Structure 1
Amino acid sequence: MDVHGAVAEGFEPVRDAFAAGFEMLGDRGAAVAVYRDGHKVVDLWGGAKNVDGTDGTEPWTQGTAQIVRSATKGVAAAVLLLLHQRGELDLDAPVGEYWPEFKAAGKERTLVWQLLAHRAGVPVLDRPLTPAQAADPVLGAETVAAQAPVWEPGTDHGYHAQTYSWLTGELVRRVTGRSIGEWVADEIAGPVGADLWIGLPDGEIPRVGRVGRVETPDRAGGLRIRPKRAVSDAYADPDSLTRRAFAAITPQPDENDPAYRAAVLPASNGIATADGLARFYASLIGEVDGGTRLFTPETVELARGERSAGPDRTLVVHTRFGLGYMLQGAASPLLTPASFGHPGRGGALGLADPGTGIALGYVTNGFRKSVTADPRAQALVRAVRQATAG
């Protein structure tokens, strides 16, 4: 497999790990970008644009974009944190102060920050939405507002895999009058110069490759990728919170459907280049190329301050969350204990590490069964750690 692009001196281990993703870990098309102190030090891509080879031979290029699944959540979280930074949203206020209908069914004391920390108690919908219904932001918001919590909000945490879309999206609409996709385009992607979208514009459709499932051996490159039995059982049980959370949209959407890609679902359907994802995270912790910085140092500390930790009622495993971001832990191996970021189920990863000034974005067209700790992304993180050691 030919790997294209460049790395700065000292970051050669990242090129090696990226190449190994194709040779040992089953990647078919992917890209990785790394920024250090706001300047790009890794920009690599390779393989085919489409995972299933429907185009025959079209290669992945520098500008190829892909759906990043739950890595979108990190972008959505930035919107709420920026609104707080600007004085437009109080993270400690009840959600119902901005969205009165959300007070229904025992949720009147739910606080804004609890939505971001997966403590709202509404990871499931008693009546799942079809993909077409899920794309209707009004119906999605009405459904989650009417949903009774499965635990008392604020008392525990569990990953809100799909409902995070309507929780964050409707709150942003109530505060700003804009969809979260419009807000990201106007206030984040545009000023930062990042190729990322929540709600893909028609003009960007040709850049986006087809995604699909890829399989690898149970052990590859020294990384264990077989899920624990308890996790497997939870995904197999149709009555578990795990299955129900991911099935809040049923049947599973076709991620290659243009209608799904055009929808605004900030939990799951953001589309980005590796550079766009890395550049976004770089802008959270510093100026990018001497220009825009999004988060103040105080907001960085808010983002990465632990708000949830322990057994996750949805994912079963031990998870740690700040405000909308996963933190360093067994379920989310990041760069250092200071890192914050978000994976996309079975593939993508974006992260920032304020201590080292590193920001990373990895996107792929081949997804696996893993939810958080994808072995390809892990290998890249380890390589960056090696490159920045000392």
Structure 2
Amino acid sequence: MVTVEGTSTARFEPVRAALEANLASGEELGASIAVDVDGVMEVDLWGGHADEARAVAWHRDTAVGLWSTTKTLSSLAALVLVDRGALDLHRPVAHYWPEFAARGKQDIEVRHVLAHTSGLSGWQQPFTMDDLYDWPTASARLARQEPWWEPGSASGYHMQTQGQLVGELVRRVSGRTLTEFVDTEIARPLDADVQIGAREADWPRIAALVPPPQPPALPAGLDAEAVFTRTLLGSPARDEHVDTPRWRRAELGAVNGHGNARGLARALSAISRRGEANGVRLLSPDTVDKIFDVQADGVDLFLGVPVRWGIGYALADPRTMPHMPTGTICFWVGRGGSIVLMDLDRRITFAYTMNRLGEGILGSQRTHDYLRHVYEALDAAA
């Protein structure tokens, strides 16, 4: 029998029961769930196994690759710099990164990068993993590239480029890498077990990701000029690259963060609690409010589903997240189902990480089920 460890208050027992059921059925391999309610960690659960052979238990401090949930940390780093006046959301990226003005990009603003509306949702081919792992090359290629649609007119999810774009801005204005900035300005002050890449000392506690069955090959006749096609082919990182030394040593602010649900909840509760968490004022309330300035609201050119993008995060939208209520809520998800959600009306932060990747565009069925249980518990207690 698989045991779920950790703590949960009585009202969130259905969340524990759901995790236990998924672990018992094998739907989950290993996972962690956290719910912070106005600074109180009412749910801090973990269980299962850190490896597919089920030889290593998932412990309290087990970490896992976050895939695109990493973007929540990179966006938070950018917002910290906005709050300090080092970045201006409405200034051109080229103000901080002059080379970026090439090929008609002189008017692309910082907010466009954070809202996936810059037109740079992938790298122009050919572009390889070797190129992605080389920071100067990956940045220079984006600086020389022309947008694939009119910037600001629509969103096209920057699946793997957003970390490069945000990371380059962080480097230009702070003098530190995104990895260093997240560590020194977010993770350490908030005592949050999260990082971009992974320190080698932490490798033994990282759970191996287990991908779902491989999807079929792209159908013949796919429009080579479509944003979807160009983004997919221009985003080289795949499941086979994860959990390798090069991946963990790299700085890929869109996809290679590592942490667990407790760490994500501790870090991102700074948004849910309007800028202050764990005794640290990270953002002003005015900066937090900027997140909810809608930048795009429609079918995303890459994801193919409706997404309401604010600054750095998607905003609550029942069209794509049916168990999420409307309100002052922002969130993002990672491949396979990991999520961190910040609900400012209720001052809660919900996070979920796992190593068996599920299917789905915005979260897996497990993601949606846990989310439903969290909000049912909150509604019942209201």
TM-score by length of structure 2 reads 0.92
C-alpha distance in 2, partners of 1:235/1:94? 39
SS of structure 2 residue aligned to 1:46: strand
Q: 1:181 & 1:146 partners in 2: Cα distance?
A: 24
Amino acid at match of 2:50: K
* 2:337–2:359 Cα contact (<8 Å) kept: no
* Structure 1 residue 25 displacement after superposition: 7.3
Measure, in 2, the Cα distance between the counterparts of 1:78 and 1:236: 40
- Counterpart AA for 2:206: V
Structure 1 residues 206 and 374 mapped into 2: Cα distance closer, same or farther (>3 Å)?
same
User: 1:124 touches 1:160 (CA, 8 Å); kept in 2?
Assistant: yes
Alignment counterpart, residue 303 of structure 1, candidates 279, 291, 295: 291
Q: Give the secondary-structure state (helix, strand or coil) at the position aligned to 1:75.
A: helix
Task: Select 2:335's aligned residue among 322, 345, 348.
Answer: 345
**Structure 2 equivalent of residue 373 of structure 1:** 363
What code does the residue aligned with 1:5 have? Answer: G
**Would you say the 8 A contact 1:15–1:44 is kept in 2?**
yes
Are residues 316 and 234 of structure 1, via their aligned partners in 2, closer, same or farther at CA, if it must alter by over 3 Å?
farther
Instruction: Give the conservation status (yes or no) of the 8 Å contact 1:326–1:332.
Output: no
Name whichever of 179-188 and 202-211 sits farther off.
202-211
Q: After the TM superposition, which residues 194-233 of structure 1 pair with which residues of structure 2 at under 5 Å, given as runs?
A: 194-214=192-212
Contact kept in structure 1, 2:122 and 2:235, CA below 8 Å: no
1:222 corresponds in structure 2 to none
Question: Do the aligned partners of residues 42 and 60 (structure 1) sit closer, same or farther apart at CA in structure 2, a change above 3 Å counting?
Answer: same
Distance change in 2, residues 1:251/1:58 (3 Å): closer
Which residue pairs with 1:58 in the alignment? Answer: 56
Shift in CA distance, 345/331, structure 1 to aligned 2, threshold 3 Å: farther
Aligned equivalent of 1:383, options 368, 373, 377: 373
Using the aligned pairs only, state the percent identity.
35
Residue 278 in 1 paired to residue 250 in 2? no
* Aligned residue number for residue 360 of structure 1: 350
SS of 1:10 mapped into structure 2: helix
Which has the larger displacement, 16-25 or 98-107? 16-25
Distance in 2 (alpha carbons) for counterparts of 1:8 and 1:59: 24
Q: Equivalent residue for 2:245?
A: 258
CA distance in 1, matches of 2:349, 2:244: 30
Shift of 1:128: 4.3
Question: What letter is aligned with 1:167?
Answer: L
Query: Is contact 1:25-1:375 (8 Å) kept?
Result: no
Matches for 1:33-44 after TM superposition, within 5 Å: 33-44=34-45
Read off the aligned partner of 1:139 and give its amino acid letter: T
Distance 1:371 1:358 in 2: 24
| Match among 49, 66, 69 for residue 67 of structure 2 | 69
Which has the higher mean CA deviation after the structures are superposed, 65-74 or 4-13? 4-13
Alignment of 1:1-390 (within 5 A): 1-23=2-24, 26-50=27-51, 52-53=52-53, 57-214=55-212, 237=222, 239=224, 240-250=226-236, 252=238, 254-286=241-273, 287-289=276-278, 291-329=279-317, 330-333=319-322, 334=324, 336-389=326-379, 390=382
Question: Cα distance 1:144–1:332, how it changes in 2: closer, same or farther (>3 A)?
Answer: farther
CA deviations over 1:62-107 (Å, ceiling 9, x no partner): 1000011110111111111111111111110011100011111111
- Residues 40 and 137 (structure 1 numbering): CA distance in 2 closer, same or farther, change over 3 Å? same
**Alpha-carbon spacing, 1:175–1:339, altered in 2? closer, same or farther (3 Å):** same
- Runs of 4+ in structure 1 over 3 Å off: 232-238, 332-336
Structure 1 gaps of 5+ residues are 216-226
Q: State the alpha-carbon separation in 2 of the partners of residues 337 and 214 from structure 1.
A: 33
SS in 1 for 2:247: helix
SS for the counterpart of 1:150 is coil
Aligned amino acid, residue 352 of structure 1: M
Structure 1, residues 299-320: CA drift from partner, whole Å, max 9, x if none? Answer: 2211133211101111111111
Per-residue deviation, 1:355: 0.7
Residues in 2 aligned to 1:57 and 1:336: alpha-carbon distance in whole angstroms: 42
The CA deviation string for residues 202-237 of structure 1, in whole angstroms up to 9 with x for no partner, is: 11111101102246xxxxxxxxxxx9xxxx988994
Gaps of 5+ in 2: none
The question of whether the paired residues in 1 share the 8 Å contact of 2:359 and 2:365 is answered with no
Please tell me the residue identity of whatever aligns with 2:249.
A
* Residue 221 of structure 1: aligned partner: none
Aligned partners of 1:331, 1:78: CA distance in 2, in Å? Answer: 23
Cα deviation per residue 1:41-81 (whole Å; 9 max; x = unaligned)? 0011111112x22xx51100010000111101111111111
CA separation in 2, counterparts of 1:251 and 1:328? 28
On the 8 A contact 2:34/2:261 being kept in 1, the answer is yes
Indicate the RMSD between aligned Cα atoms, in angstroms: 2.1
One-letter identity of the residue aligned with 1:273: N
